[in-house]
Amino acid sequence: MVQKLDTLVETPSQTAGPYVHIGCIPSFAGLEGVYPEDLGLRAIEDGAEGEVITITGSIYDGTGWAMRDAMFESWQADASGRFAGQQGADPKVNGFCRFAADKDTGEFTLTTVKPGATPTRAGGQQAPHIALWIVARGINIGLQTRIYFEDEDNSADPLLARIEQRNRVETLVAKKTGEGQYRFDIYLQGAQETVFLDL
Amino acid sequence: MSDQAYIDQGPLIPRNRAAHPVPYDPDYKTSVPRSPNQPLLSMESTLSEETGPRFGHSMLGPLDNNLILNYSKDAAKPAVGERILMHGRVLDEMGRPVPHTLVEIWQANAGGRYRHVKDGYLAPLDPNFGGCGRTLTDENGCYEFLTIRPGAYPWPNRGNDWRPMHIHISVFGHSFGQRLITQMYFEGDPLIERCPIAATVKSRSQLDRLVAPLDMAKARPLDFLAYKFDIVLRGRRQTMFENRMEGL
């Protein structure tokens, strides 16, 4: 016999379901009047330092259909690479945003500042990126991924370096479509399948 | 959001995926086109997962965790249904309480009808029930909601599938990598065994952890029954040998 480990086990996830908006974005569900406003409406406040950017995209299921009921949460550093709560972080950057795919088109939009590079424990740097968490009907445990930017130097990023199939790296890189405009599409399955993360 | 100072507490403990539902389960039909085919890319957590949003009391209204009244805002117009207290603690895998974290819930009304533009089930809406609530855990990680027990409802999956009575729960924890959404079921509900969504959790002991026991000790005589639902989030792996990050 050995001593018993006293760690607990994480509570199992369950799908957020088709009505996730009731709890997380009530106004999107047509539910008004309980809270003054939805949580996490804005990643940034007016006056945030850095380049304000807009990222649009869709999330496609395995049949190529743009999902209409997904909910996203993003979390990121400010323009100088500091997260809310860290010393010196830009007080105008919340870092957190919650948004949904459009009911009719399936397209989402995120307006934020382009994040700066962030440090690693090993003393290196991660290329600028936004962490993205996706829940929806049919997704049993929230999917983690990241948005990188095609106009940044991603060559030394430790996470991108771990992707064995180099042709999959581009699934995490948002394409620049105009001044301050990016496109980031997510594919749940198939030849263009987005890299999803476990970290 | 608060401006609490960030302290490096080490990487997150990697997720034990066997403790969670399988992503692909043909009995839950929507998971078939919505589950990745390729394996996840695993590595040690980074600052992006080890930090996360914090929410303060200033955002909360006095009725935010009272679903019986928070839609009508009128004590003379309570929601219809079986009045219950839902309560529990949020802990991490090391057994430490997770204080001051946001817990959000949503649910159908007593007849199984959601107040959502896309729910067309024939059971009626309750004019005094919205179906969402939120609260912050206290310094010991405890939370509570007053609500009504939701009804079961049918859904288009297999020919005659019905969801058990359940309440959806979303918890933030203290870092983005702890983010969790799950569902609470009720002790004794025979629909749990027949539900393909519950059955996506393949470990029996893990599924049992989603079933809240009746908690008579917390019930208030002549007012409400109580159910207890504890939640465990991922822990952090700091040891005495772990180094602080440069510049933090």
ipTM of the complex model:
0.97
Report how far residue B25's alpha carbon sits from residue B96's, in angstroms, rounded to the nearest whole number.
Answer: 33
Report how far residue A79's alpha carbon sits from residue A113's, in angstroms, rounded to the nearest whole number.
Answer: 7
Q: Cβ contacts (< 8 Å) between B11 and chain A: which residues?
A: 121
Phi, psi of B182 (to 5 degrees): -145, -170
A149 phi-psi bin (left φ>0, alpha ψ -120 to 50, beta other):
beta
Residue A126: strand, helix, or coil:
strand
- CATH topology assigned to domain B3-245: Protocatechuate 3,4-Dioxygenase, subunit A (2.60.130)
Tell me: pLDDT of B243 over 70.
no
* Residue B121 buriedness (CB in 10 A; 0-12 / 13-18 / 19+): middle
Task: Report A:144-163 residues touching B (Cβ under 8 A).
Answer: 144, 146, 158-159, 162-163
- Mean pLDDT check: name the lowest of A3-7, B38-42, B63-67, B142-146: A3-7
- Residue from the list B20, B52, B55 with its beta carbon closest to the beta carbon of A141: B20
Q: What pLDDT is recorded for position B245? A: 52
Say how far residue A74 (Cα) sits from the centre of its chain. Answer: 4
Nearest to A148 by CA among A136, A139, A156: A156
Q: Using the beta-carbon criterion (under 8 Å), do B35 and A139 form an inter-chain contact?
A: yes
Q: Which residues contact A2 (CB under 8 A, 6 or more apart)?
A: none
Q: Cβ contacts (< 8 Å) between A12 and chain B: which residues?
A: 19-21, 182, 201, 203, 206-207, 209-210
Q: Using the beta-carbon criterion (under 8 Å), do B118 and A69 form an inter-chain contact?
A: yes
Q: What pLDDT is recorded for position B92? A: 97
Tell me: pLDDT of B246 over 90.
no
Q: Which residues contact B222 (CB under 8 A, 6 or more apart)?
A: none
Q: Using the beta-carbon criterion (under 8 Å), do A137 and B30 form an inter-chain contact?
A: yes
Write down the CATH superfamily of domain A37-187: Aromatic compound dioxygenase (2.60.130.10)
Tell me: pLDDT of B83 over 80.
yes
Q: Using the beta-carbon criterion (under 8 Å), do A9 and B34 form an inter-chain contact?
A: no
pLDDT in tens, B7-28: 788 899 999 999 999 999 999 9
Tell me: pLDDT of B146 over 70.
yes
- Mean pLDDT check: name the lowest of A17-26, B1-10, B24-33, B96-105: B1-10
Q: Using the beta-carbon criterion (under 8 Å), do B49 and A19 form an inter-chain contact?
A: no
List, by residue number, the catalytic residues of B: 114, 153, 163, 166, 168
- Residue from the list B2, B20, B235 with its beta carbon closest to the beta carbon of A13: B20
- For residue A24, what is the enclosing H or E element? helix A20-24
Q: Is A187 on the interface with B (CB under 8 A)?
A: no
Q: Is A11 on the interface with B (CB under 8 A)?
A: yes
Q: Cβ contacts (< 8 Å) between B234 and chain A: which residues?
A: 10
Give the 3-state DSSP-derived string for chain B, with helices as H, strands as E and coil as C. Answer: CCCCCCCCCCCECCCCHHHCCCCCCCCCHHHCCCCCCCCCEECCCCHHHHCCCCCCHHHCCCCCCECCCCCCCCCCCCCCCCEEEEEEEEEECCCCECCCCEEEEECCCCCCCCCCCCCCCCCCCCCCCCCEEEEECCCCCEEEEEEECCCCEEECCCCCEEECCEEEEEECCCCHHHCEEEEEEECCCCCHHHCCCHHHCCCHHHHHCCEECECHHHCECCCEEEEECCEEECCECCCCCCCCCCCC
Q: What pLDDT is recorded for position B1? A: 44
Q: How many CB pairs under 8 A join A and B?
A: 296
Q: Using the beta-carbon criterion (under 8 Å), do A7 and B93 form an inter-chain contact?
A: yes
Sequence spans of domains, chain A? 37-187
Confidence of residue B248 (pLDDT cuts 50, 70, 90): very low
pTM score, whole prediction: 0.96
Q: What pLDDT is recorded for position A6? A: 87
Tell me: pLDDT of A159 over 90.
yes
Q: Using the beta-carbon criterion (under 8 Å), do B132 and A30 form an inter-chain contact?
A: no
* Residue A64 buriedness (CB in 10 A; 0-12 / 13-18 / 19+): exposed
Nearest C-alpha of chain A: how many angstroms from B71? 5
Q: Which residues contact B105 (CB under 8 A, 6 or more apart)?
A: A23, B67, B86, B132, B133, B134, B145, B147, B167, B168, B169, B170
